[in-house]
Each structure stands twice: as C-alpha cells, then as structure tokens.
Amino acid sequence: MAVAARLICTRRRALLAFKAAIIALVVMILGACSKSPTPYTWNLPHNIPPPPVPADNPVTEESVILGEKLFFDKGLSANNTVSCSSCHEPEHAFSEPKTVSVGANGDALNRNALALVNVAYNASFTWAHNNLESIEKQLMIPLFNEHPVEMGVTGNEKRILKRFEGSEYRALFEAAYGDDTPNLNNIVKALASYVRSLVSFNSAFDNYAYAQDDDALTAQQLEGLNLFFSERTECFHCHGGLNFTQSSKHSFQPFAAQPFHNTGLYNEDGKGSYPESDMGLYSVTHNKQDMGKFRAPTLRNIALTAPYMHDGSIATLDEVIEFYARGGNLAESPNPYRSPFIKGFTISEDEKAALVAFLRSLTDEQFVKTHTTRKN
C-alpha cells in the first residue's frame, strides 16, 4: 500500500510539473507574439541633450500616440466640455490667449495657462510649487483639483473611464502598456509622455546659435540679443540656459535649479503682500520670504503666448519690457521681497523694439505648424 501511495504521489507531482511547463511555454509564446512598445526617437539637434525621463514611465512611440489622442479628447473632463488642449492650444505654443483659464464648470482659475514647450526639461512645474518634480505629479492638479474644478475627474472616475472602452482606445492602451483596459494610472502616464514629446529647438535663434547660420538673425534681432544678455537689463539671469529659464534640468547641467522670483508685480499693503487669491510660492511654503515668488517660464515661443505673468495681467511684450524697465509696479515703493535682478533700467524706443524682435526670434514656427496641423 505504501509503495502504491508513493507511486500515485510521484505521478501527481509529474503531472503538476508537466502542466506548469505547458503554462510557462504558453506564456513564453504569447510574450513572443506581443509586440514590445517602441522606444521614442527624440527629434533634437545634435547638441541638445535629451530630457530626463522617469524609469517607471519610459517614453515610447505608442505612449505618445495614446497621450496625444487623450490630450485632445473632451471625454477626459467630467461633463465632456473641455480637454487638455482647451487651455493648451498648439497654435499658441500650447498656451491660450486668455488672462486666466476656465475649468469644465465655467469657473475662472487663478492663473494664466503656461505654455507646454520643453516642459520635459523643467525642474519644477506650475507657476509656484517647489515639490512637484515630475509631469506625472503635476497632471494630478488639472485632472483632480476641486477648488476650483478644472477637468473635474474627482468623483467621476468610473464614468470617465467608460468613455475609453471602445475598440480604438483599447488597442492604443494595449499597444502602449500591454493592457487594453483603460485606467487612470496609464492615462496619466500617456499624457505625461505626450507632453514630454513637445520639444522645440528650431527657432531662428537656434539656427544662429547652434547651427552656425550667421544670417538667421537680423541686425535688429542681434541688437536685442546683446541687450537681453547684458547686465543692464538682467534678462538672462532668470531666463538663461538652453530653455531660457533657470528652472531646468538635463544631462549637461550638474544640478536641478528651481528658482522662483518676486518681480514686484504687486505690493498690496506696502509691506510686500500679493493678492490673497494668489500669493505665489508663499501659498505652499508659508515662508514670508516666498511671498509673490513665481517660476520664470521659458521664453521659447514667447511671442505666441500672450498675455503674460502668472495672472495674465500684462498684455504685450512691449508692456513686459516697460514693466521691467520701471523696476516692477509701484517702483517708488518697491516690494521688499522683489528680486535683486528687478531694479529697473533705461531703454530707448529703438532698443525696446530690438529686444522684442529678439524675443520673436525664439518662435519655432515649424513646431507650431506641425502640432496645429495634427490637432486639426
């Protein structure tokens, strides 16, 4: 009996081992049949480093395709009325020509929509937050924010996900992530991949500075370039580097800078306060020294992203230069938290025109044309 029992146990173990081998073989075959996502090819000049990419969300051709479709889909908002592109329009370098953005429920937001140009190189995100170190984290704000509502996803997750259960989206999710079931985690990853792909380094300035085309800039633009990088105007101190902002990181840069600056835009009480509706970095840190501090945005494609400042309170580039030339608003009683780089300067009308001409040379027309065409 004991011998028979041992024989039966041996046969059972052999059968289980055989089944396990069959299952492993099937999994291997299925894995071999499944096409792996294609690593994304960055369209960058030879001397521009690729942006940093998180290890848990590699950029692939498939994730960018899915992210682009989601970016322009109003189904991502609770009431089907707005998409990411509603506030970030390709023709305006992925900003919008409004003072401040408006959410899905029609509520005005606090801030002007930042241009999504080269944000893959950002060291910080939004106008004033020092703890948002990735696009994935930043995306949570427009998607889930409730005060005020932006996309309105909170509480509507199941209803929104159901909109993406059609065969087209399922195929895109499968191709990007090996799972055809739409979920918010992969939606955020795909959106982040698409936004990372929005790189812009093909302006007249780039042709002059990096492609050795001495005729790419006019004499007026060259005059403006010299003014921009002069100690008189101080522009380059806050808008330096390959992305024209200190808030950047890439392989050529040994550390990530996250500078925020008070430009002297407001001084509500004569003691440095900003409007209670938006006190900048102070609202996050509650450190008085951060009152009215906002991130210096990139100046790439800046001619397309009016109005300017965090609240869209300055309408034109000419007015921006005049603002800095007088040392901010209320310069006779300067904000005590104002950046030392904002000290005012003299500038003639011809010089101002030259500086504006240089800023216009930072427009990447091909970038805008390509993405506007794809939107349509």
Band of residue 47 on the pLDDT scale cut at 50, 70, 90: confident
Query: pTM of the prediction?
Result: 0.88
Under a CB-based contact definition with an 8 Å cutoff, are residues 292 and 279 in contact?
yes
Percent of the chain surpassing pLDDT 70 = 88
Under a CB-based contact definition with an 8 Å cutoff, are residues 204 and 217 in contact?
yes
pLDDT for position 285 = 96
Band of residue 20 on the pLDDT scale cut at 50, 70, 90: very low
Per-residue DSSP letter, 50:
P
pLDDT for position 217 = 98
pLDDT for position 28 = 44
Under a CB-based contact definition with an 8 Å cutoff, are residues 53 and 78 in contact?
no
pLDDT for position 330 = 85
Distance CA 185, CA 24 (A): 28
pLDDT for position 338 = 96
pLDDT for position 250 = 60
Distance CA 236, CA 238 (A): 5
- Residue type at 279? M
Straight-line distance from the first to the last Cα atom of the chain, in angstroms, rounded to the nearest whole number: 79
Q: Please, which residues have CB within 8 angstroms of residue 121's CB and are 6 or more apart in sequence?
A: 51, 242, 243, 248, 249, 250
Distance CA 353, CA 376 (A): 34
- Residue type at 126? T
User: What angle (nearest 5°) sits at the alpha carbon of residue 330, between those of residues 340 and 297?
Assistant: 50
Q: What is the pLDDT of residues 89-116, one digit of tens each?
A: 999 999 999 999 999 999 999 999 999 9
Ranges 5-19, 176-190, 194-208, 249-263: which has the least confidence:
5-19
Band of residue 159 on the pLDDT scale cut at 50, 70, 90: very high
Mean pLDDT to the nearest integer, 32-49 = 84
Per-residue DSSP letter, 335:
-
Following DSSP, what letter does each residue of 85-136 receive, concatenated?
Answer: HHHSBGGGTTB-SSSS-B-TTS-B-SSPPPP-SSGGGBSS-SSS-SS--SHH
Q: What is the pLDDT of residues 191-220, one digit of tens each?
A: 999 999 999 999 999 999 999 999 999 999
pLDDT for position 256 = 55
pLDDT for position 187 = 98
Two structure tokens written together for 266: 């407001």
Under a CB-based contact definition with an 8 Å cutoff, are residues 326 and 307 in contact?
no
